[in-house]
């Protein structure tokens, strides 16, 4: 017997939601049944493009009509808490885009609300789902490099993100909250949870409000130390957006994920070089294709976990640890001292 498709409603029809809708069409056993956006033009454009008839301007009307199995929230952060809690009140499993919340206190409240309602909750924290990043994790797990003692997760670019996402130029906070959050999550994924963090921030682009460069030093629970650095003020010979460079040093060898998705693993048995470039999905476009591929991967993961009742890898509960690093980074950059994560709670 074939299971009935999981019916999905998407809230938010903006810049990034297009990727999520494309990806849902590629996830077996999921169908998009309704969309919602308070902007009528965006709602109409998305509905027409993806052939979705059920359209709502207000999320409470969407939930009032119901008849979907989960909701995918693709709006910006300011609306997340109200929408996640609305989903919880209606007993609807929920995915929420990153950054999950503007404050750790809000995030904790959202996790508690969903837990109390018995509602599964996943944060769309997708960078760790890029195939190149999965390949690094796989190389660490293969154990040939021995005990990991040092790492680096680096994202340096001068790509104009503001043309597609103008709100990024306007917030008091920019690169750590928007992009560094992915890098910090990747560092947790590769090197484990973090006990202490030290950060410095800079603003190089005078036309924006927040910081566009961040350099962070992380002490991981297992003893490794890592550097997480990100910049939107770095002009290189070839613009690498949106590639992440990763370096891992172990007691017996090293892993290097270099630009152009070249993975080099050195162990006592020798050196292997592999091309770990992501596939170009039919609806994807360069240079976004590695992000777009990770959107499909995380959405597949959600459907798989929802069907069997398992906790997603980037559940709300898990994401509190990534958000705590974001908070710690801003605190450290502001007061010039390192932050003990145990004290953050």
Return all residues near 95 (Cβ < 8 A) that are at least 6 apart: 70, 71, 72, 73, 121, 122, 123, 124, 299, 302
- Residues linked to residue 35 through DSSP beta bridges, in sequence order: 10, 55
Placement of tokens 């130390």 in the chain? 225
Minimum distance, C-beta of residue 15 to ligand 89V, in the bound complex (Å): 9
Q: Which is nearer to ligand 89V, 22 or 220 (CB)?
A: 22
Q: Which is nearer to ligand 89V, 79 or 165 (CB)?
A: 165
Q: Please give the helix or strand (H or E) that residue 244 lies within, else none.
A: none
Q: Which is nearer to ligand 89V, 22 or 182 (CB)?
A: 182
> Which of ligand 89V, ligand NAD, none does 15 bind, CB closer than 5 to 8 A by kind?
ligand NAD
Q: Count Cβ atoms below 10 Å from residue 89 Cβ, excluding itself.
A: 13
Range list of H helices, 51-79: 59-65
Taking CB under 6 A as the criterion, the residue among 8, 34, 84, 98 binding ligand NAD is 98
Taking CB under 6 A as the criterion, the residue among 74, 176, 184, 333 binding ligand NAD is 74
292-318 in b/e form (b: 16+ CB < 10 A) is bbbbbbbbbbbbebbeeeeebbbbbbb
> Which of ligand NAD, ligand 89V, none does 161 bind, CB closer than 5 to 8 A by kind?
ligand 89V
Taking CB under 6 A as the criterion, the residue among 6, 8, 10, 13 binding ligand NAD is 13
Number of residue whose CB is nearest ligand NAD: 14
Distance CA 100, CA 105 (A): 11
Q: Please give the helix or strand (H or E) that residue 335 lies within, else none.
A: helix 316-335
Minimum distance, C-beta of residue 114 to ligand NAD, in the bound complex (Å): 18
Residues in 157-216 at the binding interface with ligand 89V, rule: CB under 6 A: 161, 165, 178-179, 182
Residues in 136-195 at the binding interface with ligand NAD, rule: CB under 6 A: 165, 167, 178
> Which of ligand 89V, ligand NAD, none does 179 bind, CB closer than 5 to 8 A by kind?
ligand 89V
Q: What is the size of the binding site for ligand NAD (CB under 6 A)?
A: 27
Distance CA 195, CA 221 (A): 6
Taking CB under 6 A as the criterion, the residue among 22, 124, 188, 301 binding ligand NAD is 124
Taking CB under 6 A as the criterion, the residue among 6, 12, 144, 244 binding ligand NAD is 12
> Which of ligand NAD, ligand 89V, none does 242 bind, CB closer than 5 to 8 A by kind?
ligand 89V
Q: Does 242 bind ligand 89V (CB under 6 A)?
A: yes
Q: Are 128 and 314 in contact (CB under 8 A)?
A: yes
Long-range contacts of 2-7 (CB under 8 A, 24+ apart): 3/29, 3/307, 5/29, 5/30, 5/31, 6/30, 6/31, 6/69, 6/70, 6/303, 6/306, 6/307, 7/31, 7/33, 7/67, 7/68, 7/69, 7/70
Minimum distance, C-beta of residue 251 to ligand 89V, in the bound complex (Å): 33
For residue 311, give the 3-state DSSP assignment.
coil
Residues in 279-308 at the binding interface with ligand NAD, rule: CB under 6 A: 291
Minimum distance, C-beta of residue 161 to ligand 89V, in the bound complex (Å): 4
Q: Count Cβ atoms below 10 Å from residue 222 Cβ, excluding itself.
A: 12
- Which residues of the shown chain bind ligand 89V in the complex (CB under 6 A)? 161, 165, 178-179, 182, 242
- Which residues of the shown chain bind ligand NAD in the complex (CB under 6 A)? 11-17, 36-39, 42, 59, 74-77, 79, 83, 97-98, 124, 126, 165, 167, 178, 291
């Amino acid at each position: 017997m074939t299971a009935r498709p999981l019916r999905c409603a998407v809230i938010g029809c903006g810049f990034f939601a297009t990727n999520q809708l494309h990806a849902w069409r590629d996830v077996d056993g999921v169908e998009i049944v309704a969309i919602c956006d308070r902007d009528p033009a965006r709602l109409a454009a998305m509905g027409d493009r993806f052939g979705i008839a059920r359209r709502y301007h207000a999320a409470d009307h969407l939930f009032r009509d119901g008849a979907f199995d989960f909701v995918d929230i693709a709006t910006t952060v300011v609306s997340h808490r109200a929408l996640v809690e609305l989903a919880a009140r209606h007993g609807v499993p929920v995915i929420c885009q990153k950054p999950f919340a503007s404050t750790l206190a809000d995030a904790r409240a959202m996790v508690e609300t969903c837990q109390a309602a018995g509602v599964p909750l996943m944060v769309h924290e997708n960078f760790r789902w890029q195939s190149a990043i999965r390949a690094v994790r796989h190389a660490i797990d293969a154990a040939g490099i021995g005990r990991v003692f040092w790492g680096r997760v680096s994202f340096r670019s001068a790509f104009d993100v503001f043309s597609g996402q103008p709100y990024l130029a306007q917030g008091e906070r920019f690169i750590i909250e928007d992009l560094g959050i992915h890098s910090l999550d990747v560092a947790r994924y590769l090197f484990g949870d973090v006990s202490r963090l030290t950060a410095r921030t800079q603003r190089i682009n005078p036309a924006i409000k927040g910081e566009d460069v961040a350099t962070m030093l992380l002490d991981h629970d297992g003893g490794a130390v890592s550097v997480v650095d990100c910049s939107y003020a770095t002009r290189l010979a070839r613009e690498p957006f949106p590639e992440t460079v990763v370096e891992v040093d172990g007691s017996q060898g090293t892993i290097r994920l270099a630009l152009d998705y070249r993975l080099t693993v050195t162990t006592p048995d020798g050196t292997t070089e592999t091309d770990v470039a992501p596939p170009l999905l039919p609806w994807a476009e360069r240079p976004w294709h590695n992000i777009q591929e990770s959107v499909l991967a995380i959405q597949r993961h959600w459907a798989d976990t929802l069907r069997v009742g398992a906790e997603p890898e980037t559940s709300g509960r898990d994401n509190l640890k990534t958000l705590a690093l974001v908070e710690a980074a801003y605190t450290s950059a502001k007061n010039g001292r390192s932050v003990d994560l145990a004290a953050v709670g």
